[in-house]
Structure 1
Amino acid sequence: MLKLEHVSKSFDNLRALVDESWQLDEGQILGLIGQNGAGKSTTFKLILNFIETDSGQITWNQKPIDNQTMNMIGFLPEERGLYPDVKVGNQIMYFAELHGRSKAEIKPKLQDWMDRFDVKGSLNDKVKKLSKGNQQKVQLITALIHEPKLIILDEPFSGLDPVNAQILLDIIVEQKEKGAAIIYSSHDMNNVSSIADKIVMLNRGHVVLNGQTNQVRQSFGRTRVYLESPLTAAELSAIEGVEKVEKFAGGLQISLSDPKVGEQIFKLATKNGYITAFDQQPPTLDQIFRMKIGSDAIKEAESEGLTHE
């Protein structure tokens, strides 16, 4: 179990993290979300002992993280760091040995990992010969091949197309099923909501949301309705409790001030019989992100490509 208790960190006059507390159990996936500067990378650096906390403590299985514990951690940094003139196989072996694994233990697994990630290239190719996407997959292999108990992935989906992103999602879930605790940051809220058991949302160093992903969403109420029916936006906007009506994916997306208004909309939409779609859900993680982070930070995030419609 990874546990952060009242962790704070400042750099000169910048308060990077303020009283951050959460825990992640073995066999769980945690999505760490927030705009740039929210404290995600600082959190990772503290867990990995790259920097020290000002206050609070971080433990793995109730003990401080030391050099021995580091051998059980797999880390993918946001800024990739492969050696371009080293052969792929030698590169992976090198990182595995840094984590205490022997060549005899790792060598038989190399091709299997290459196949699982569908790397286009051979173990004898120099890294620079591979495309950027395949280089990224090799770096992911270096983070996972020693079968870590704690996996930390900083923007692992960056640069991956949808097919390769799905390959990575499947492997992350596979590692979870083997008992690993996994924490990753992502700017793609769809990836977070699809596999994360828990989410922690940071805003300017503060934890603004922390909990089970589904429970967090449900706590905001079923205030979003997607509707395909003869009703017009004007008719829906006239209903008390409807805050906003927008065109979306061939239908209308309706924001409610009270989930109970959904029943009224459903009755009105179906008064003449069958309609093609009515779906009442809690806000998406992206919508919650927008609500919790605030308009100024949202503009900043959008300028950096961090949010999605």
Structure 2
Amino acid sequence: MTLFIDQVTKKYQDFVAVDNLSFTIEKGAIFGLIGQNGAGKTTTFRMILDLQETTEGNITWNGTHINSINRDVLGYLPEERGIFPSMTVEDQLYFFGELRGQQKKKLKKEVDYWIDRFELEDKRKAKAETLSKGNQQKVQLIASFIHKPEFLILDEPFSGLDPVNMDLLKNAILELRDNGTTILFSSHQMDNVEELCDHLCLLKRGVSLFTGSLLDLKKQYGKTKLTIRTEIPKEVLERLEGVKEIHVGKDQYTLTLINESYAQSIFDFVSNGKYIEKFSLDYLSLEEIFKDKVGGTHV
């Protein structure tokens, strides 16, 4: 089961929301679609869901045009949340499952499992309007996949969640993937994208700046992030050859290098043949790369 987006463009009169976009998502993958607000992410989601037509190009699922597939194979968590305030958690999940063609009797196992999995057992009979924002988010998330979709779109799924609930969600996403669900999601929290996704598409004003594996994106920049712990003053370090800039942390420095070839000479200088407590060379984080590519600044 593969999602194939082939040279897709979406225009609203003279405004181009998505411009000649192409990418492929293989079965069981977690794929990230990232970009600033207005980059075209939600428009792309709506075209995949056939809520909007493409102006040009094609979208297919397992070789079938997206407007000809059974809609029940899709699941969607929109950024704009929408659950029924006066309906209980349990009834809400049964309602959305039945809406997607599932029988209530067959839904019971899934409803019970996910209510327990998301620590909502004591809220089972509670109305949605009485829940915290985080618990409402969990209910709507479960509702998006209670019918076991083959393909699931999650638009900003981590919004409003505390760190504990965020971990619950991450583990649920990985479990869904391991059970064969293909997942496409967007998030402004780049650490979550970096943790969950092997492949991604980076959008800016509807245009793909990069589509491919996260590792390939990082390799474009090389290992230029050097973290060291030393008593050598910043003023001395910033004069070393190959150092672009230095960030001073609580007990360490983070140096951005012109390229990784300068790391050896910096190591030799800092260590001077002695033990050095910390010297770590790594790729830039996805957030740093995102700011560089999308923000137009140089990291």
TM superposition score category, shorter chain reference: over 0.9
Q: Does residue 227 of structure 2 align to residue 247 of structure 1?
A: no
Letter matched to residue 287 of structure 2: D
Q: How far is the alpha carbon of 1:188 from its aligned partner?
A: 0.5
Following superposition of structure 1 onto structure 2, how do residues 230-269 of structure 1 map, counting pairs within 5 Å?
230-269=231-270
**Which stretch shifts more, 164-173 or 113-122?**
113-122
Separation of aligned partners in 1, 2:19 and 2:81: 28
Partner of 1:228: 229
Partner of 1:284: 285
Following superposition of structure 1 onto structure 2, how do residues 148-187 of structure 1 map, counting pairs within 5 Å?
148-187=149-188
Partner of 1:84: 85
Q: How far is the alpha carbon of 1:67 from its aligned partner?
A: 6.2
Q: How far is the alpha carbon of 1:237 from its aligned partner?
A: 1.4
Normalised to the residue count of structure 1, the TM-score between the two structures is 0.92
Listed one character per residue, the Cα deviations across residues 212-263 of structure 1 (whole Å, up to 9, x for unaligned) are 1122112210011111112222222112221111113421111111210011
3-state SS of 2:180 partner: coil
Over the aligned positions, Cα root-mean-square deviation in angstroms equals: 1.7
3-state SS of 2:135 partner: helix
Partner of 1:43: 44
Partner of 1:274: 275
Separation of aligned partners in 2, 1:67 and 1:6: 19
3-state SS of 1:36 partner: coil
Following superposition of structure 1 onto structure 2, how do residues 19-58 of structure 1 map, counting pairs within 5 Å?
19-58=20-59
104 and 195 in structure 1: CA distance in 2 versus 1, 3 angstrom threshold: same
Separation of aligned partners in 2, 1:255 and 1:50: 44
Listed one character per residue, the Cα deviations across residues 48-82 of structure 1 (whole Å, up to 9, x for unaligned) are 01110000001111111246432011110000110
Partner of 1:62: 63
3-state SS of 1:164 partner: helix
Partner of 2:201: 200
Normalised to the residue count of structure 2, the TM-score between the two structures is 0.95
Partner of 1:74: 75
3-state SS of 1:260 partner: helix
Unmatched 5+ residue regions in structure 1? Answer: 299-308
Letter matched to residue 290 of structure 2: F
Aligned residues: 298
Separation of aligned partners in 2, 1:29 and 1:279: 29
Q: How far is the alpha carbon of 1:159 from its aligned partner?
A: 0.1
**Which stretch shifts more, 249-258 or 197-206?**
249-258
223 and 31 in structure 1: CA distance in 2 versus 1, 3 angstrom threshold: same
Report the identity percentage.
38
3-state SS of 2:83 partner: coil
Letter matched to residue 15 of structure 2: L
Partner of 2:216: 215
Preserved CA contact (<8 Å) 1:226 1:277: yes
